[in-house]
Amino acid sequence: MKVNLKSPSLIGAFLFLGMASCKSDKKEETTMVNKEDQGIVLEYMDTLVKPSEDFFRYVNGTWLDNNEIPGDRTRWGSFDELAKKTDEDALAILKAAMGTNKDLKKIEVLPGSDQEKAVKLYETIMDTVSRDAQGVDPLKPYLAKI
């Protein structure tokens, strides 16, 4: 029986070249991430509670003890805290963009900037005083179609 070594060698060479050509010299950007900002916050845990008895209390006990549900809310959690912080940040960006100017229409901001996003957020969602003053008038054309 004659074994043809050319075929396996040729196949091996092509596989090697194919694999070698897959390597990319392009370097990916990496960002520094603070490991303390990720994952489970161990300080929120109540390790005095046995996880087999009350797992929810074991995981969230300290957080529950240190955080009150605001009077105007029926529930409060970490995502509510995040939403509140986001609203505060957007308002701070808006105030920085406004400076001494109190008229939103006269603020000059760069397109796509955080200031422009904050102005648009305020105009559409957060400006409850203007919305209350307008009443249902902006909705009347849509209600007429129904």
Range of the domain at 100: 94-146
- Over the stretch 86-133, which tens digit does the pLDDT of each residue have? 888 888 887 777 777 666 667 777 888 888 887 787 777 777 888 888
* Structural domain includes residue 78: no
* Structural domain includes residue 112: yes
- The residue with greater pLDDT, 127 or 77, is 77
* Structural domain includes residue 134: yes
* Structural domain includes residue 25: no
Residue 30: is it exposed, middle or buried by C-beta count within 10 angstroms (0-12/13-18/19+)?
exposed
* Structural domain includes residue 140: yes
* Structural domain includes residue 69: no
Evaluate if residue 53 carries a pLDDT over 90.
yes
Contact 78, 95 (CB under 8 A): no
pLDDT at 23: 58
pTM greater than 0.75: no
* Structural domain includes residue 120: yes
Evaluate if residue 5 carries a pLDDT over 60.
no
Report the domain count for the chain. 1
